[in-house]
A and B are shown apart, each in its own frame.
Chain A
């Protein structure tokens, strides 16, 4: 059973556009929600993360929006650039450090 559902599976965005990736979860024990970025041939790297007591967190062009009542969170990439082309994973963590990852979104930013 997939603990964290992620969509879309793939996304193509024009340079300068907004990329939006969505994730949903059911387990209310999750208390930390990171997003990871993975380039081909590399391991995932933490991009940005949010706690459930905050509705939004912004770091540069990357923003997480968190809706606790809907149990959904999303990543917004503003002014998307070709260098942002990568696979993005959302994750949810429950106490005890158990990480659950979404299935990933392959983002392609077209110049």
Chain B
């Protein structure tokens, strides 16, 4: 049973380009969460999605960032017109269902570097 998969593991973009980060949840998991981790900082919640629905995007920057979790395929975190401040590790987590005590299983992360 494969864990949460993220790709690419490392992504380098120049300022102004677009970054697309992919997350495939664990089999049977229908809830996906995206987090951003800056050096020396903790994990910051960005967005929580179920299939075809955004449940909570309170942590998403208002501009340039979007996320989706289509009926088929992985969840995508899209960053348009990247800036140096977007350089960070982006982690995806998945859980099987909505419940207070559900563990979130994390992927290995995508490390985005903006030149």
Cross-interface CB contact of A44 among B31, B41, B91, B100, cutoff 8 Å: B91
A-B contact count (CB 8 A): 61
Are B103 and A43 in touch, CB under 8 angstroms?
Answer: no
Given contacts A101-B42, A103-B41, A104-B41, contact A43 B91 (CB under 8 A): yes
The answer to the question of A62 belonging to the interface, with a C-beta cut-off of 8 Å to chain B, is: no
Interface size counted on chain B using CB atoms at 8 A: 27
Chain A residues numbered 33-61 whose CB sits less than 8 Å from any CB in chain B: 34, 36, 41-46, 49, 51
Cross-interface CB contact of B100 among A9, A41, A89, A95, cutoff 8 Å: A95
The answer to the question of B108 belonging to the interface, with a C-beta cut-off of 8 Å to chain A, is: yes
Are A104 and B42 in touch, CB under 8 angstroms?
Answer: yes
Chain B residues numbered 28-67 whose CB sits less than 8 Å from any CB in chain A: 31, 33, 35, 40-45, 48, 56
Given contacts A97-B95, A97-B98, A98-B56, contact A44 B103 (CB under 8 A): no
CA distance A27 to B48 in the complex (A): 20
Given contacts A43-B107, A103-B42, A104-B41, contact A97 B100 (CB under 8 A): yes
Interface size counted on chain A using CB atoms at 8 A: 27
Chain A positions within 8 Å of B99 at CB level: 97
CB distance from B63 to the nearest CB of A (A): 22
Question: Which residue in chain A gives the minimum CB-CB distance to B104?
Answer: A99
Are B95 and A45 in touch, CB under 8 angstroms?
Answer: no
CA distance A86 to B75 in the complex (A): 28
The answer to the question of A31 belonging to the interface, with a C-beta cut-off of 8 Å to chain B, is: yes
Are A34 and B103 in touch, CB under 8 angstroms?
Answer: yes
Chain A residues numbered 77-111 whose CB sits less than 8 Å from any CB in chain B: 89, 93-104
The answer to the question of B1 belonging to the interface, with a C-beta cut-off of 8 Å to chain A, is: no
Chain A positions within 8 Å of B69 at CB level: none
Chain A positions within 8 Å of B104 at CB level: 46, 99
Which residues in B have some Cβ–Cβ distance to A below 8 Å? 4, 31, 33, 35, 40-45, 48, 56, 91, 93, 95, 98-109
Of all A-B residue pairs in the complex, the 3 with the closest CB atoms, nearest first, are A43-B106, A103-B42, A101-B43
